[in-house]
Structure 1
Amino acid sequence: MRQTQELADEPFSRIPPELAHHLRPFLDAIRKEVVAAIQAEIPEYDRPTNDTYTKTIHTGVELGLNLLLDRLSTPGISAQEVINIYRGIGRGEAREGRSLDSFQGALRIGARISWRRIVSLADADVLPREVLGLLGEAALVHIDEIATATSAGYAEAQLHLAGELQRRRLRLFDMLIAEQPPTEEAIRDLAHAAHWPVPASLAVVVVDHHWERDTLYPILPPDFLARFDQRPGCIVVPDPGGPGRTRAVDSALQGHRAALGPTVQLTEGARSLRWAMDALTLARRDVLPGGEVVRCSENLATMLLFQDEALVDALAERHLGPLERMRPPYRARLADTLLCWLQCSRNANEVAGRLGIHPQTVRYRLRQLDELFGDRLQDPDARFEMELALRVQQLR
């Protein structure tokens, strides 16, 4: 690295220091011509109504030319001053959200115009021709150092901005799923700072994954907010009912066990998260299918039944006790027949078709159930509660 810098400094050390004195009187004219060319050729820098911006361009061009002459007049000057200044300019370009393409284009224009003027001075015998080659080499080194320093500062700022943006998005994520509901105004303020388009609604997805064994996280659309530094992983889906959202969620989570909570308002993310967690728990138990994204909206009845299993067990104890008198294998067949009969509006032929058995077998079992339960099979409330208890048993 030191050897490279010594090579870069060499042309400056071989140029007579008094050369800068010959060039300084022409500096203002060169600056004006360079600025005019930049504004003519690069629309982004052409802002005639913005005096501050125009002054900044003039100052930037003058700075580059002055630094070159300073290095010519004092060969011992380190390139570090150039590097520090243009690193700062690169950081500023990144913070302003501009591409470096325009800046680098302006740098090329500045180099072209400046060199044209310097050659014309040599032609007019103002500048000694014998130093023209060295001056050209020094100018190229100077421009290269400016470009390199600006790019480095730009990349450094982009990295910092990306990190800051990610931190803001993580804070926004935590706010959206907080148990203490945030205000919509607070969400909008932080969303603006995080460059996150505020949706009309959202839903929360929870994802089962062995992150420590598999670091290939789901690839998500840029407006999805996610945290995979915890188990289960968690994703906030903006406007889940929007075009292509269902396909985007399914595609990103293919091969993962996941549950999608209900669509809620901006301030109700915690509710969507709770329901998604409940659904994921049931998917882990195979109560709900776990091979694809489980959607709470499609499994509300099952989720309701499993909100308090002890309560459903008490219901079963109250209404299904007579089945306990039967031997286990036959008890299960009678329970299946009873549930199917309740679901089929007590139609024996339909029960036979669903269970794949002879109608006579169904009637025989129904007579046994009638002996076990008696008048309770005629009570609508009792039948409803029996069906609930039997459904939970079957899902388990």
Structure 2
Amino acid sequence: MVRHGAVLAEEPFHRFSADLAEHLRPLTEDIRREVVNAILAGIPEYARPTNAAYTTTITTGVELGLNLLLDRLTAPGIGAREVFDIYHAIGRGEAREGRTLDSFQGALRIAARITWRTISTLADSDTLPRQELALLGEAALVHLDEIAAATSAGFAEAQAHLADEPRRRRLRLLDMLTDEQPPTAQAIATLAPAARWPVPSRIAVAVLDGHWEREESRPILPPDLLADFDRKPVRVVVPDPEGPGRARAIEAALRGHRAALGPTVPLTEGARSLRWALDALGLARRSVLPSRGLVRCSDHLTTLLLFQDEDLVDALGTRHLDPLERMPRPYRDRLAETLLSWLRCSRNASEVAVRLGIHPQTVRYRLRRLDDLFGDRLQDPDVCFEMELALRLRQMRPRQAG
């Protein structure tokens, strides 16, 4: 493989007589004309009679190849960088035109055949010794191989770039939509067409755990979702998340994975949806929220609120629930469960019994015990509200967390 900036092979260019180029150069015009005509006639991809600029490009390419060959015969090493750069650029152009390299390789074979046939006439006329003709054939083959290698390198580079460009622009758009610095609508409208992304009015951001280094193992997402699988956790921007059928499509795509979907927000507020989704995913990892499948933030707003600052809610517990802390653990847990149910059931003992599945008399006994512990504080609505917050947080924490 020829590399950019490398000096092309000098062998077998240094073994020719000094006057060889003088015999060959007068033939180049006839060779160029015949090669160009044969290419235009024999390669359908290059047959563009109405495009004079395109024909000029082909003519220039053929002429350049011939002249570089002659230059290298008289001064080995001359044109090494130039031959790579020119044909590397031609290879990129072939890729951008949407063609394969089959047409170009066919054109090279035509050029080699016609050039060799014409040069052979020199040997037939005794202008060129047979031994030197064999060396010239070797040099021409090396020259053509290097042209082919440079073209292939340019073609492969352009293909990789063209294939990756929409992906890179989609990642840039995803970053823009989830950045803490809100993007302007104009910035989104400018980048979205290049990323092949229809601009919605509202979005939501999902995050999911997993390791998907291999693309074939990744979840299959609808094509209008923007996803960055290189981030941990993975980020996904969902356009119009409340549109028809969207909920089922997202659920199906992320089934079996631990994931969280942030709230639906205006197009420029993706950072807020991302923050909530990250919070929900963190709670799913702790088993506070379901640890498998898709967790929707909109279904767990109270939980997300309580866990925004656990220390602050714990401080409420320390302030109001201290009498419970002095009780033995099993008894304390039962009293805490009863108190929370009583607060949630609007202080209806019968509803508490149904909710907890215990005898109403047991509920009344526990309520008397709570009244002994807390007294008038259970009549203060503000205190009861703060008690309920602290008790809810404790109840939602996994048992192993203490």
State the TM-score, normalizing by the size of structure 1: 0.70
Corresponding residue number in structure 2 for 1:226: 228
Distance (whole Å) between structure 2 residues aligned to residue 277 and residue 14 of structure 1: 74
Amino acid at match of 2:235: I
Amino acid at match of 2:228: A
Is the 1:206–1:234 contact (alpha carbons within 8 Å) kept by the matching residues of 2? yes
1:287-326 to 2 correspondences below 5 Å: 287-290=288-291, 294-309=295-310, 312=313
Q: Do the aligned partners of 1:207 and 1:233 also contact (CA within 8 Å) in 2?
A: yes
One-letter identity of the residue aligned with 1:272: S
Tell me if the contact between 2:204 and 2:240 (Cα under 8 Å) persists in the aligned partners. Answer: yes
> For the residues of structure 2 that align with 1:127 and 1:249, how far apart are their CA atoms?
77
C-alpha distance after superposition, 1:268-319 (max 9, x if no partner): 1111122123324434554334455543233222112334556655766787
Which residue in 2 is equivalent to 1:64?
A: 65
Alignment match, 1:392: 393
Who is 1:239 aligned against?
239
**Structure 2 Cα separation of the partners of residues 88 and 343 of structure 1:** 73
**Following superposition of structure 1 onto structure 2, how do residues 76-87 of structure 1 map, counting pairs within 5 Å?**
76=76, 78=78, 80=80, 81-87=82-88
Question: Post-superposition shift, 1:182?
Answer: 1.3
Quote the offset at 1:26 in angstroms: 1.6
Instruction: Please name the residue that 1:106 is paired with.
Output: 104
Query: Would you say 1:29 and 2:33 are equivalent positions?
Result: yes
Distance 2:77 2:329 in 1: 95
**Would the alpha carbon gap of residues 23 and 384 (structure 1) be closer, same or farther in structure 2, given more than 3 Å must change?**
same
Equivalent residues in 2 for 1:269-280, closer than 5 Å: 269-280=270-281
Whole-Å separation in 2 of the counterparts to 1:3 and 1:389? 75
Structure-2 change in CA distance of 1:301 and 1:122 (3 Å): same
Q: SS of 1:180's equivalent?
A: coil
CA distance in 2, matches of 1:26, 1:127: 17
Partners of 1:347 and 1:288 in 2: CA distance: 28
Q: Is the 8 A contact 1:199 1:238 kept in 2?
A: no
Summarize the Cα distance change of 1:10–1:355 in structure 2 as closer, same or farther, 3 Å threshold.
farther
What per-residue deviation string (whole Å, max 9, x for no partner) do you get for residues 311-348 of structure 1?
Answer: 65576678767757865532321221243455567776
Choose 110-119 or 310-319, whichever is displaced more.
310-319
Secondary structure of the 1:237 match is strand
Counterpart CA distance in 1 for 2:142 and 2:325 is 93
Quote the residue 2:185 is aligned against.
184
**Alpha-carbon deviations, 1:239-269, whole Å to 9, x = none?**
3745744444456xx4xx6543223333111
SS at match of 2:235: strand
| Cα distance change of structure 1 residues 3 and 158 upon mapping to structure 2, 3 Å threshold | closer
C-alpha change, 1:245 and 1:14, in structure 2 (3 Å) is: farther
Q: Distance in 1 between matches of 2:249 and 2:144?
A: 48
Equivalent position amino acid for 1:109 in 2? A
CA 1:86–1:57 in structure 2 vs 1: closer, same or farther (change >3 Å)?
A: same
Which residue does 1:332 correspond to in 2?
Answer: 333
Change beyond 3 A, Cα 1:228–1:156: closer
**What is aligned with 1:204?**
205
Give the share of equivalent positions with the same residue, in percent: 54
| Secondary structure at the counterpart of residue 335 of structure 2 | helix
Unaligned runs of 5+ residues in structure 2 are 398-402
Alpha-carbon shift at residue 60 of structure 1 (Å): 2.1
Aligned residue for 2:21, secondary structure, equals: coil
Equivalent AA in structure 1 for residue 37 of structure 2: E
Q: Is the 8 A contact 1:34 1:61 kept in 2?
A: no
- Deviation at 1:224? 3.6
* CA deviations over 1:22-79 (Å, ceiling 9, x no partner): 5324234313323313552x2xx4445544334323322333344345445x363546
Q: SS state of the match for residue 274, structure 2? A: helix
Could you report, residue by residue, the CA deviation over 1:115-135 in whole angstroms, capped at 9, with x for unpaired residues?
157538868997669476555
- Counterpart contact for 1:205–1:260, Cα < 8 Å: yes
Secondary structure at the counterpart of residue 269 of structure 2? helix
- Tell me how many residue pairs correspond in the alignment: 379
CA distance 1:277–1:191, change in 2 (3 Å): same
CA pair 86-8 structure 1, distance change in 2 beyond 3 A: farther
The offset of 1:183, in angstroms, is 0.6
* Letter aligned with residue 261 of structure 1: G
Alignment of 1:130-209 (within 5 A): 130=130, 135-155=136-156, 172-192=173-193, 195=195, 197-200=197-200, 201-206=202-207
- Contact 1:12–1:75 (CA<8 Å) still a contact in 2? no
CA distance in 2, matches of 1:169, 1:8: 49
Q: Is the 8 A contact 2:260 2:296 kept in 1?
A: yes
